Amino acid sequence: MTTRPLRADARRNIDAILEAATATLARDPDASVNDIARAAGVGRVTLYGHFENRAALVSAVVERAMADVDAVLQALDLSGDPAAALVRLVDATWAVTLRYGALVVAAERSLPAAEVAAAHGAPRERAQWLIDRGRAEGRFRTDLPASWLVTSLHTVTHAAANSVYDGELATDAAAHAIAATMLGLLTPPGEVVPDVAALTAH
Amino acid sequence: MTTRPLRADARRNIDAILEAATATLARDPDASVNDIARAAGVGRVTLYGHFENRAALVSAVVERAMADVDAVLQALDLSGDPAAALVRLVDATWAVTLRYGALVVAAERSLPAAEVAAAHGAPRERAQWLIDRGRAEGRFRTDLPASWLVTSLHTVTHAAANSVYDGELATDAAAHAIAATMLGLLTPPGEVVPDVAALTAH
DNA sequence: TTCATCTCGAACATCTGTGTTCAAGATATT
DNA sequence: AATATCTTGAACACAGATGTTCGAGATGAA
């Protein structure tokens, strides 16, 4: 079945809706379809003309976001010193989190668990892989479950996003704070906590 | 205005409602009044007979919870070695978090921000005080905002609660994981991360 | 036992959000 | 200019949650 080409204004509206939905849901995961349509400068009926469901819309938004996230993460060099690689990973993850914020929550509420897990999977595995390598080289602590360490990284990043949103933390200060926090968090007991500044020097 | 004494069954029901509401909301902050009434083994109308609003109910639940939390925290000795004191604080906080879980979220959704802030205030200040002391004694890192460190502690604790709920982490392992994670997180760059086991030895 | 208090289901009003239908009008395409 | 495609507000049906009212019946207090 060949899909007939969409009219130009339709394409334009679909893009506007996806863009608005991303921004709106990243701020408020409970945003109504109405809110999103209004943010896109489009009638609610038009939105439903392009997306079956609220779920279908969220799904499309998540897919788009994940493509972006994957592109950013794939372009990342995680070789070399594990601690330095972690700082690079954190910086990249931070940029992505700032952009997509609470979108995860929106996904969790209207998408089947399997789909959410799939979206979460890739970034988590990437972090896990780096942590495993750091552990193997004796740079990261091995006295706690690796999955817990990954969860901590993830959680701290989101906490930083909230802090920025609440005005407690400046956007640029946040990146440094997250990296520093995570290095401390990963350092094995009995070892010295590295300084972020020393790692980012080139 | 003197309030007439309640009949015994009324008192009993009020207690049951508060108890059920606490447990139910700690699991699902979106639980409906219906769910809560059913969990309390009471008709919905009865519930509304004792509490004006959903908000009033949540408020009562939070008040009760905070009294308990305050009691636990006040009974805590935070003197001596800051790291050891932190481990004690973490253990106490952990117990409380396990009990009240997502109740905070429920509060955030149906209570005015001021009331939520007030409830949050006391425990936060307690943590902040200990961190400040540890910083003054050179045991905790001073290169990051203290408020950020407090937020991290708070966040990591909640992440652990979720992990336990998801079955990723055993309840008893979690307490150790949180304490270990936090010690690493607070250790100043250039210093050695302490071992939790060494601190809890008596 | 008497009586005020309390319980409770059923039914109702209200609100908010989702999703659909319709018919008129705007716009891209050719 | 002709036409298929697209947009749109208004109106509707529906679902779930909150909060209220009523009246019959259960229960505690004296």
Q: Are residues A177 and A80 in the same domain?
A: yes
What local confidence, expressed as pLDDT, does residue B37 receive? 98
| Total number of domains constituting chain B | 2
CB A29 within 8 A of CB A105: yes
pLDDT at A198 over 90: no
Residue B3 lies in a domain: no
User: The CATH number of the domain where A35 resides is what?
Assistant: 1.10.10
| Residue A138 burial by Cβ neighbours in a 10 Å radius (0-12, 13-18, 19+) | exposed
Q: What percent of chain A has pLDDT over 70?
A: 98
Q: Is the distance from CB of A183 to CB of A83 less than 8 angstroms?
A: yes
Same domain, A140 and A76: yes
Which of A14, A31, A51 is at the close of a domain?
A51
B147 neighbourhood in chain A, CB within 8 Å: 168
Residues A142, A87 share a domain: yes
- How far apart CA B80 and CA A58 sit, in angstroms, is 52
Q: Are residues B97 and B181 in the same domain?
A: yes
Residues by CB within 7 A of strand C: list them: A 7-9, 32-34, 44-45, 48, 52-55; B 4, 6-7, 9-10, 13, 41-46, 49-50
Same-domain pairing of A121 and A195: yes
Both B137 and B156 in a single domain?
A: yes
A138-186: per-residue pLDDT in tens?
999 999 999 999 999 999 999 999 899 889 999 989 999 999 999 999 9
Contact check, Cβ <8 Å, B189/A193: yes
- Sign for the pseudo-dihedral over CA of B8, B12, B13, B18: positive
Segments forming the whole domain that contains residue B30? 8-51
One-letter amino acid for residue A71 of the chain: A
What gap in Å lies between CA B72 and CA B123, rounded to an integer? 10
Q: Model confidence over A157-166: pLDDT tens digits?
A: 999 998 998 8
- DSSP class of B78: -
Contact (CB, 8 A) for A36 and A25: yes
| Nearest CA distance, A45 vs chain B (angstrom) | 29
Domain match, A42 and A135 both: no
Question: Is B101 in the same domain as B120?
Answer: yes
Percent of chain B with pLDDT strictly greater than 70:
98
Long-range contacts of A111-116 (CB under 8 A, 24+ apart): A111/A55, A111/A58, A111/A59, A111/A62, A115/A59, A115/A62
Domain stops at, among A31, A51, A71: A51
Please report residues of B whose CB lies closer than 8 A to that of A188.
Answer: 193
We report the CATH number of the domain holding residue A148 as 1.10.357.10
Whether B129 and B182 share a structural domain: yes
CA of A109 to C1' of C27 (A): 37
Is B150 within 8 Å of chain A by CB?
no
Whether A202 has a pLDDT exceeding 60, the answer reads no
Q: Is B56 a domain residue?
A: no
**Residue B202, pLDDT above cutoff 90:** no
How far is it, in rounded angstroms, from Cα B196 to Cα B202?
Answer: 12
Q: How does pLDDT run across B126-135, given as a tens digit for each residue? A: 999 999 999 9
Within a domain: B2: no
Q: With a CB-CB cutoff of 8 Å, which residues 170-199 of chain A face chain B?
A: 173, 177, 180-181, 183-196
Do A17 and A84 fall within a single domain?
A: no
Instruction: Tell me, yes or no, whether B34 and B79 share the same domain.
Output: no
Q: Does residue A75 share a domain with residue A42?
A: no
